[in-house]
Amino acid sequence: METTGSSGQPERIVAIPLRHPVRNVVAVVIILIVVLFVVDAAFFRPAYDWPAVGKYIFDVRVSQAALVTIELTVLAMVGAIVLGTLLAVMRLSPNPVLKSVAWAYLWIFRGTPVYVQLVFWGLLATIYKTISVGVPFSSDVLFSWTTQDAISVFWLAVIGLALNEAAYMAEIVRAGMLSVDPGQSEASTALGMSWSQTMRRIIIPQSMRVIIPPTGNEVISMLKTTSLVTAVPLSTELYTRTRDISAETFNPIPLLIVASIWYLFFTSLLMVGQYFLERRFARGSRFVDVGPGQENPTVLVGATPTAPVEAQPGTSTEGRSS
Amino acid sequence: MTEPLASTPMVIADRVVKSFGSHTVLKDISLTVNRGEVVCVIGPSGSGKSTFLRCINHLEKLDGGRLTVDGELIGYRQRGDKIYELKPKEAAAQRKDIGMVFQRFNLFPHLTVLENIMEAPLQVKRQSRAAASARALELLARVGLAEKAKAYPASLSGGQQQRVAIARALAMDPKLMLFDEPTSALDPELVGEVLDVMKQLAKDGMTMIVVTHEMGFAREVADSLVFMDGGVVVERGDPREVLTNPQQDRTKAFLSKVL
């Protein structure tokens, strides 16, 4: 902010900053506790067995399992986002049948535990022994597979996770679309753009700002939910694999740490990715730098730096003893 | 191509009716706007001015009457005495020739000023990027904002945003421009710059229907002034005539409050 007065500068506030003695004491105490815990864990707790952590962290069985976990996460999320977007559009459509179908889907898949659903998917081959393609209401069968051969346990796990997650993604996408001002679709309709052009070019890009943060949450949540696919049962992912190894070594704690480190590593990667995605879709938002041509800095709420109250030279600082 | 006569009608509204549920907003509107004519529509809020404007480019579906733009029935197709609803694609094709400017600007906030103007020519008219960009820059210069091409709408003042919105509508080379209270959301000191752009547009011969509260603009620019109230056209005439010497009591009552 600049202040221009013809008769000299207005008097500046020269204030002695507020002290926070309690804050400092609390900070020191907390840091001490953390340091003590780390030192204790590093040197005085043999159960952590850090050498074993180092030995297994890059064990090929573990890193292969980590890859399976990432594959499950990515495939399930891609399926969930596609299906969730479809469900969201269905829920917002004027067609009452589509609306009810989408609602019923949400009711079932959000209303039952994902673990239970995964067990169900594991039993798919028991319920539906064969998958056949034929002419309806006749005995002609064109193709037929036994379910067990047609769908592997891995894909059952992907389907189970994706279908559950789609119910949550549908609500996130719907919220995103509802957050866009109706004037936007009106303007693009008035320009002669079709419904799909309006959705693709105007509504969805704007709804992304609202959709991405909770979707980032969901991806991280999915990464961890993959540890439940043992219910299908799929045993090649990270958590089950480390449990299996520790069942042989009778040393579960270091392997839990190994699994945690891998999960944390992936989560960190995802958080970095989310940061860049958010920046990409924040273009034009008043909360980011809008680039050249800005002449109305008051709209840049989020970017307005708080002006520090400068201490003038010669200001009394004697009271700053602690 | 034959040069159209100046007096041929661009918009013919014939006994137009529009209801929302049980509430009839447009009771019986008949109005003809000729090619190159500038018509200002005034009236109290809730009189149906905006709804009428939105009917002209089929943002609202008519419930009764006929509405044609440049001889083409809007929103429907008539075969014999049967009327068929248009497919969304056909309705979109009708809208692309009708420009609309909104009270709240409705610029696309995720696109730069230039991209806002290029969007419809690229998507709807399938113009080349170079052609659309050249045309957009030319229009921006025309509304006096050539240096804002790369800015995002949020960094512009309301008046600048509305001028961009006008340029965006013009980029589709419309034969008719609809203005829905284009200056009502603006700070008073920004109204002039938008009206100046509209005056220039009128001078260039654009057919315009302007819903407005700017009586000065109506007096100076409009060829004809329409006063609407309660879903009907109460009075229509020369703007100076209607504003200084209204014939109907309802017009007199309204003008006595706003002038």
pLDDT in tens, A129-161: 888 888 877 777 778 888 878 888 999 999 999
Q: Is the pLDDT confidence value at B175 over 80?
A: yes
Distance between CA atoms of residues B182 and B164, nearest Å: 12
Q: Which range is least confidently modeled, A25-29, A149-153, B37-41, B199-203?
A: A149-153
SS3 A169: helix
Q: Between chains, do A181 and B106 touch, taking CB under 8 Å as contact? A: yes
Nearest to B59 by CA among A187, A92, A178: A187
Is ipTM beyond 0.95? no
SS3 B204: coil
Q: Which amino acid, residue A101?
A: V
pLDDT for position A290: 40
Q: Which range is least confidently modeled, A88-97, B153-162, B185-194, B208-217?
A: A88-97
Q: Is the pLDDT confidence value at A225 over 90?
A: yes
DSSP B160: H
Distance between CA atoms of residues A92 and A199, nearest Å: 12
Whether residue A20 lies within 8 A of chain B, CB to CB, comes out as no
Q: What kind and span of H or E run contains B164?
A: helix B158-170
Band of residue A4 on the pLDDT scale cut at 50, 70, 90: low
Query: Mean pLDDT throughout B95-101?
Result: 95
Number of Cβ within 10 Å of residue A80's Cβ equals 26
CB-based burial of residue B185 (10 Å sphere; 0-12 exposed, 13-18 middle, 19+ buried)?
A: middle
Nearest to B144 by CA among B159, B125, B129, B127: B159
pLDDT for position A3: 52
Q: Give me the DSSP letters along B41-86.
A: EE--TTSSHHHHHHHHTTSS--SEEEEEETTEESSEEEETTEEEEP
pLDDT in tens, B9-41: 999 999 999 999 999 999 999 999 999 999 999
Nearest to B7 by CA among B210, B233, B207: B207
CB pairs under 8 A between A and B: 100
CA A110, A115, A120, A124 torsion: positive or negative? positive
Whether residue A183 lies within 8 A of chain B, CB to CB, comes out as yes
Q: Give the nearest chain A residue to B58 (CA atoms).
A: A190
Q: Is the pLDDT confidence value at B5 over 60?
A: no
Q: Which range is least confidently modeled, A126-135, A269-278, B43-52?
A: A126-135
Q: Between chains, do A183 and B104 touch, taking CB under 8 Å as contact? A: yes
Q: Is the pLDDT confidence value at A300 over 50?
A: no
A219/chain B closest Cα distance in angstroms: 25
Q: Between chains, do A292 and B151 touch, taking CB under 8 Å as contact? A: yes
pLDDT for position A138: 77
Nearest to B52 by CA among B16, B86, B24, B20: B16
Task: Report the DSSP beta bridge partners of residue B226.
Answer: B41, B236
Tokens of A25: 């004491």
* Residues in B lying within 8 Å of A, measured between beta carbons: 57, 59, 88-89, 92-93, 95-100, 102, 104, 106-112, 119-120, 123-124, 147-148, 150-157, 165, 168-169, 172
| CB contact residues (below 8 A), chain A span 200-219, against chain B | 201-202, 205-206
Tokens of A194: 């079709």
Residue A163 falls in which region: left (phi positive, over 0), alpha (psi -120 to 50) or beta: alpha
pLDDT in tens, B234-245: 999 999 999 999
Q: Give the nearest chain A residue to B157 (CA atoms).
A: A296
pLDDT for position A166: 97
B238 phi and psi, to 5 degrees?
A: -60, 130
Distance between CA atoms of residues B91 and B99, nearest Å: 14
Band of residue A321 on the pLDDT scale cut at 50, 70, 90: very low
Query: Mean pLDDT throughout A230-246?
Result: 92
Average pLDDT, chain B: 93
Q: Is the pLDDT confidence value at A307 over 80?
A: no
Q: For a pLDDT cut of 90, what percent of chain B falls above it?
A: 93
Distance between CA atoms of residues A73 and A288, nearest Å: 31
Q: Is the pLDDT confidence value at A256 over 90?
A: yes
Mutation target among A184, A189, A191, A206 for the B interface, most CBs of B within 10 A:
A191
Whether residue A313 lies within 8 A of chain B, CB to CB, comes out as no
A210 interaction partners in chain B (CB closer than 8 Å) = none
Q: What kind and span of H or E run contains B253?
A: helix B249-258
Domain A57-134+141-288 class in CATH: mainly alpha
A90/chain B closest Cα distance in angstroms: 18
Residue A112 falls in which region: left (phi positive, over 0), alpha (psi -120 to 50) or beta: beta
Query: Mean pLDDT throughout A108-132?
Result: 91
Query: Mean pLDDT throughout A242-269?
Result: 93
pLDDT for position A286: 58
Q: Is the pLDDT confidence value at B75 over 70?
A: yes
Inter-residue contact B11 to B29 (CB < 8 Å): no
Q: For a pLDDT cut of 70, what percent of chain A falls above it?
A: 86
Nearest to A213 by CA among A241, A164, A173: A173
Name the strands in the sheet holding B176-180, side by side, starting at the edge strand that comes first in the sequence.
B72-73, B64-69, B9-20, B23-34, B232-237, B224-229, B38-42, B208-211, B176-180, B98-101
Band of residue B49 on the pLDDT scale cut at 50, 70, 90: very high
Tokens of A277: 């995605």
Q: Is the pLDDT confidence value at B104 over 80?
A: yes
B182/chain A closest Cα distance in angstroms: 14
SS3 A44: coil
Q: Is the pLDDT confidence value at B126 over 90?
A: yes
Distance between CA atoms of residues B49 and B56, nearest Å: 11
Band of residue A177 on the pLDDT scale cut at 50, 70, 90: very high
Q: Give the nearest chain B residue to A287 (CA atoms).
A: B154
